[in-house]
Amino acid sequence: MTIQWFPGHMTKARRQIEDKLKLIDVVIELLDARIPLSSRNPMVDEILKGKPRMVLLNKHDLADPVVTAEWVRYFADQGLQALPIDAASGTQVKEILPRAKALWAHKIESQLRKGINPRAIRALIVGIPNVGKSTLINQLAGKKIAATGDKPGVTKGQQWIKVGTEMDLLDTPGILWPKFEDQMVGLRLAATGAIKEEILHLDEVAFFSIKYMVQHYGTALQERFGIAEMPDDLDDPNQIVSVMEAIGRKRGAIVSGGKVDLDKASLIIIRDLRAGKLGRISLEKPTDY
């Protein structure tokens, strides 16, 4: 789902989340494991206020496990438990309930002390578009329920989905907007498919991706596309473009006269990257900050 975010949409989205927050005990913040900070809403702490919260690093199947472990430590340093998951296949999804219970344990204990039977924990999933909110809701529900969440400004009756007997999940997630001001963030979002490539120039997104991969995943790049010569100077844009051209030639992205069609080559690069054809690749590390 692509949403063009304008200030009015952001205000509405924020208000919708604030309304939902009144009903819930625990927030499940969904981030993209390949770009955890770039896929995070810039105002999330302010919007969620003090609600007990866990972070899920989704699409871990596509992310570099070594870098994801660094991110888990990064969030732990901030007092946030981060759990890598793969909502599409369901990997680690069973860990969510015990974590939600741990976050809500103080309340459950106080209810038990008062002789009250604790009710199911009420949870809400929040995250930017395409991070996998609907996929996770369906996975937790054990069936296909959610469409693609509600759009800002479109109100809909809230319904609870039972996750076993101990957790109730709101059927519509809270949709947050990404951070746009930073060009690097935009490029990372586009490279992973969080925002559609039409917003940014395809060749710019591919250029950024190739440069990052030359730096961190050179072998994967060489193996996938059979590139003989790798750049020795990352600050030389011509060397990065040469890699893009080599990929274009290898994959038949040629226009008449034998020149490489850079747009086609860019599309091939981005599609392969997003689909995990180059292996598990993260496009952001805690040390980038």
Q: Is 152 in the site for ligand G4P (CB under 6 A)?
A: no
Asked if 134 is part of the footprint of ligand G4P (rule: CB under 6 A), the reply reads: yes
Question: Under the phi-then-psi rule, with left for phi > 0, alpha for psi from -120 to 50, and beta for the rest, what region is 174?
Answer: beta
The H-assigned helical ranges of 83-197 are 96-103, 105-113, 133-141, 183-192
Compute the least distance from the CB of residue 193 to ligand G4P, in Å: 5
Site string for ligand G4P, 169-208 (x = CB under 6 A): ------------------------x---------------
The one segment of 45-53, 129-137, 201-209, 232-240 that binds ligand G4P by CB under 6 A: 129-137
The helix (H) or strand (E) run that includes residue 125 is: strand 121-127
**Per CB under 6 A, does 39 bind ligand G4P?**
no
Beta pairing, strands 121-127 & 160-163: unpaired
Supply the minimum distance, in Å, between the C-beta of residue 165 and ligand G4P: 25
- Name which position in 17, 24, 37, 87 contacts ligand G4P (CB under 6 A): 87
Number of residues that bind ligand G4P (CB under 6 A): 19
Letter string b/e over residues 249-279, b meaning 16 or more CB atoms within 10 A of that residue's CB: eebebeeeeeebbbebbbbbbbebbbeeebe
Please state, in angstroms and rounded to a whole number, the distance separating the CA atoms of residues 121 and 118: 9
- Report yes or no: 42 and 128 within 8 Å, Cβ to Cβ: no
| Closest residue to ligand G4P, based on beta-carbon distance | 132
Q: Interface residues with ligand G4P (CB under 6 A)?
A: 1, 58-59, 61-62, 86-88, 127, 129-135, 148-149, 193
